[in-house]
Amino acid sequence: MRIRRTVAALVLATAAVLGTTAAAPAPSTTPARSRFPTGTATTADGRTVLTDRSGRALQLRGFTVDKYGETTESDLKSIAAHGFTLIRVAVSWTRLEPARDTYDRAELANLHQLLDWAGKYGLLAVIDFHQDVYGPKFGGGDRGIPLWATRDDGLPFTPDPDDWFAGYFQPAVQAAFRHLYDDPDLRRWQDDFYTRIARELGGHRALLGYDLFNEPSGPIDGDPSDPAVLAAASAELEQGRLAGMYQRLVAAVRQADSRSWLFVEPTVLVGQGVPTRLPAFSDPRTGAPRLGYAPHFYDTAVESGRDWDPADGFIENYTAAITAYPQSNHLPVLVGEWGPPNSRTPGNTLLVQRQVVAMEDFATAWTMWYWCRGNGGYCALGPDGEPARGDEPAFGPYARALAGLPLGESYRDGVYRLTFTADRAGGWTEVVLPAGSYPGRAHLTVSGARASAVVVEQPGAERSGTARVLLPPARPGAQITLAIG
């Protein structure tokens, strides 16, 4: 009751300052179920955004977790406390089905527990069917595609300890991917696995959907060090074998789950500016399709250990490579992975800043790689649990729900600014104020409309706050600007 009275007092006090009429306060926390996107809308620049059941545009942000089975309840509590709303859960076919048609009940229970924690703290979750260099046969530990679904034709595999990604170009790995795409029994076993996981998880209050296959790769005919050869192989894969796999997996999931969103990934060559060549996909669910596009946002040179060079054209080339496909197919974009291996260097610090700004123009959701503590090594947190030096822009203010469609947002010199076109039905717009920001009282102004009510929950030292503005119905296209400083 103390919290409720405090929030109500903030509504009245702030409304009085703005000369508005207070209404019933918005809830101080938003359950994952009520944040679940039920549809999409198209912005003025052709971008497709996720929308909730009230028609508000959603921006979902968060982190990938649990690749190593290490994520705890306190991790998810902390992610939510920092104002994030989304996790991408890396799951392993090897761990979940270690033998054909034999499922590890402990692993399934752990996955259910993770989703339960996510729901408890108001987070949505995307299940990422993860693999790195296919699976454990090729040094992937207990992650990826199981040994019993690995056929390498006895071809050689020589790991490179200094370049794990080069493993994708080894003959044995190339053969394993070819068999996974082509062999009827492997295709059937993979479909069965996806249907089983969808049957286990479908309908969970925290489940947003599935990232159908992490960083797909495949056969390459020719020298993989030749960019032209790689681009041709990527196009052939996306238009042929990979497209066939995705359509199969969509159908497999839909046998058990008609509610969730299904995201397709291009090959990682989009990071080198190679445009996506995936075709359109159909969704057999009743009603509007719930399909999305989930590219990764990595600079190859940075991944190889270099500091980012702002003159390399990476962000411009990447944006050009991934924009046309989701726009032409009306797909919301979830950037499933992004972030440098070490944000502390000068160029990479700037890269994080530029990536956050760039994604505001093409993505409705993102999950940074990776939620952990450490000194570098992709960890978004330092050893003290605070945002890692250089990663601060990822922890900045953002609008998680808009009563309208986004036009732009920025955060400079302690001032957050959001511009959007108002919804004719009105409603609550919510802006996350990160933990530790605005140590004094945040001052909010609204232009372009007369707010019906304002709620400002101040951020604390270890938790985020929220600014909520209730807007009345507006004429279509009316432009609203919120400023918080």
Q: What string of pLDDT tens digits covers the 485 residues of the chain?
A: 222 222 332 333 333 333 333 333 444 445 666 789 999 999 999 999 999 999 999 999 999 999 999 999 999 999 999 999 999 999 999 999 999 999 999 999 999 999 999 999 999 999 999 999 999 999 878 999 999 999 999 999 998 988 889 999 999 999 999 999 999 999 999 999 999 999 999 999 999 999 999 999 999 999 999 999 999 999 999 999 999 999 999 999 999 999 999 999 999 999 999 999 999 999 999 999 999 999 999 999 999 999 999 999 999 999 999 999 999 999 999 999 999 999 999 999 999 999 999 999 999 999 999 999 998 889 999 999 999 999 999 999 999 999 999 999 999 988 999 999 998 888 999 999 998 888 778 889 999 989 999 999 989 888 899 999 999 988 878 999 999 98
pLDDT recorded at residue 483: 96
pLDDT at 33: 65
Kindly list the domain boundaries of the chain, sorted by start residue.
Answer: 1-30+397-485, 60-395
pLDDT at 173: 97
Angle between helices 314-329 and 346-359 (to 10 degrees): 20
In 99-170, which ranges are continuous DSSP H helix? 105-120
Q: How far, in Å, are 63, 86, 248, 255, 262 from residue 108 at the CA level?
A: 21, 20, 23, 19, 20
| Residue among 180, 174, 170 at smallest CA distance from 129 | 180
Would you state the pLDDT for residue 381?
A: 96
Q: How far is it, in rounded angstroms, from Cα 283 to Cα 254? A: 8
**Pick from 82, 37, 90, 38: which is nearest to 62 by CA?**
82
Residue 453: CB atoms within 10 Å: 21
What own/partner pairs with CB < 8 Å and gap ≥ 24 does 47-51 have?
A: 47/326, 47/327, 47/333, 47/361, 47/362, 47/364, 48/326, 48/327, 48/330, 48/331, 48/332, 48/333, 48/364, 49/332, 49/364, 49/405, 49/406, 50/332, 50/364, 50/365
Concatenated DSSP letters of 224-273: TTSHHHHHHHHHHHHHTHHHHHHHHHHHHHHTT-SSSEEEE---GGGGGT
Q: For residues 322, 325, 327 and 330, what is the CA-based torsion angle, rounded to 10 degrees? A: -130
User: For residues 402 and 409, is the Cβ–Cβ distance under 8 A?
Assistant: no
Q: Note whether 127 and 198 are within 8 A (CB).
A: no
CATH number for the domain running over 60-395: 3.20.20.80
With helix as H, strand as E and coil as C, how does 153-206 read? Answer: CCCCCCCCCCCHHHHHHCHHHHHHHHHHHHCHHHHHHHHHHHHHHHHHHCCCCC
Both structure tokens of 19? 């000369």
Instruction: Evaluate whether 379 touches 36 at the Cβ level (below 8 Å).
Output: no
Taking only Cα atoms into account, the Rg of the chain, rounded to an integer number of angstroms, comes to 23
Please tell me the predicted confidence (pLDDT) of residue 189.
Answer: 98
Label the pairing between strands 337-338 and 296-297. Answer: parallel
- Are the CB atoms for 471 and 480 separated by under 8 Å? yes
How many Å separate Cα 484 from the centre of its chain? 26
CATH topology of domain 1-30+397-485: Immunoglobulin-like (2.60.40)
Token readout for 412 is 């400079």
pTM > 0.85: yes
Which pLDDT score is estimated for 32? Answer: 66
Amino acid 23: pLDDT: 37
